[in-house]
Amino acid sequence: MANYYDSNTVIFTNGKFVKAGEARMDLYGQSLHYGYGVFEGIRSYKTAAGTTAIFKEKEHFERLKQSALALNMPYAWDTDALIEATYEVLRLNNLQDAYIRPLVYAPANMSFSRNAESHIAIMAWEMGPFLGDKLLRVMTSSFQRPNPKGFHITAKATGHYVNSILASQEAKANGFDEALLMDMTGAVAEGPGANVFYEKDGKLYTPSTGNILPGITRATVLEICADLGIEAIEKKITIEELKKADAAFFCGTAAEVIGWESLDHIVFPVNWNHTLSRKVQKAYSARVKQADAIAV
């Protein structure tokens, strides 16, 4: 298990900076019992200039708010104030390359009723510089992503991640690195915590929105493609066409841009270093560090 905190770690919770080991959560909380909470996964980076920058912080905290509202959770916080508090958490813990986890959770409530208030905690821990050289062996999951008619799937809700845990653990138990899940129509959807792209004949393809979490990294990859003049197409994707791709990758805040070696043991034919996907990966790495892509 990773060491997320020690006796010196400080978190932000309900307006205060407190020691992580001294913060308490109610065992009678509705979030814990029913998976009724929302969260974010955010990265900060040591920039090329040596400063600390949270990547797309507004987008993440806005999504946190939209996720809470989608679940009828009261949301009393201001995005700019939360960003400021997050920078303070980084400063207090002496962190630059970090993973940041804001969590909005419900008070004690064993019923399904709406609450009068929510709580918030912002935690952060060190995450080393990105290497991106290891390629993933991916397995088509036997689990499908949650049906958008059963859940607000564009919300980043804690309970949705039981699906991610089942899929990821199944893949690892079968000797793979990660899972790829279909949507309820059987089309390619996403990974347990990342979106998917594939490359074929000089173009990139990614599943359309509707049955996926439309990731902030996915949007960044689309921006990078536009900047680099790479055609990127959003469409319904079948597993058969994905297996005939030249290359493929996952992208997400934590995963960043990570190439695939194989899907269900079918190895992608083009050397990763010679793909457009690798160019996108390098550009992403430069963008988060506010560096020149050539220097990466």
Window contacting ligand PMP (CB under 6 A); options: 135-143, 193-201, 275-283, 284-292: 193-201
Measured from each CB, the residue nearest to ligand PMP is 215
* Residue 217 engages ligand PMP in binding (rule: CB under 6 A): yes
Q: How far is CA 121 from the centre of its chain?
A: 18
User: In whole angstroms, how large is the CA radius of gyration of the chain?
Assistant: 19
Sign of CA dihedral 163, 253, 221, 199: negative
* Residue 213 engages ligand PMP in binding (rule: CB under 6 A): yes
The CA distance from 168 to 151, in Å, is 20
Tokens of 274: 């010679």
> Which of 29, 37, 102, 193 is the binder for ligand PMP (CB under 6 A)?
193
> Which of 204, 216, 225, 257 is the binder for ligand PMP (CB under 6 A)?
216
Supply the minimum distance, in Å, between the C-beta of residue 196 and ligand PMP.
Answer: 9
> Which of 57, 190, 199, 246 is the binder for ligand PMP (CB under 6 A)?
190
Judge whether 42 and 54 are in contact, CB under 8 Å: yes
| Residue 109 or 205 with smaller CB distance to ligand PMP | 205
The CA distance from 66 to 156, in Å, is 9
Tokens of 35: 């998976």
> Which of 253, 275, 277, 285 is the binder for ligand PMP (CB under 6 A)?
253
Tokens of 140: 């088509």
Catalytic-role residue among 156, 235, 243, 289: 156
In the range 37-96, which residues lie near ligand PMP by CB under 6 A? 41
Supply the minimum distance, in Å, between the C-beta of residue 153 and ligand PMP.
Answer: 8
The DSSP-derived string for 104-171 is EE--B-SSSPPPS--EEEEEEEE-PPP---PPEEEEEEEEEPPPTTTS-TTS-BGGGHHHHHHHHHHH
Window contacting ligand PMP (CB under 6 A); options: 85-93, 211-219, 228-236, 256-264: 211-219
* Residue 168 engages ligand PMP in binding (rule: CB under 6 A): no
| Residue 118 or 206 with smaller CB distance to ligand PMP | 206
Supply the minimum distance, in Å, between the C-beta of residue 1 and ligand PMP.
Answer: 20
Supply the minimum distance, in Å, between the C-beta of residue 194 and ligand PMP.
Answer: 5
Catalytic-residue membership of 282: no
**What residue ranges bind ligand PMP (CB under 6 A)?**
41, 156, 190, 193-195, 213, 215-218, 252-253
The catalytic residue positions are 156
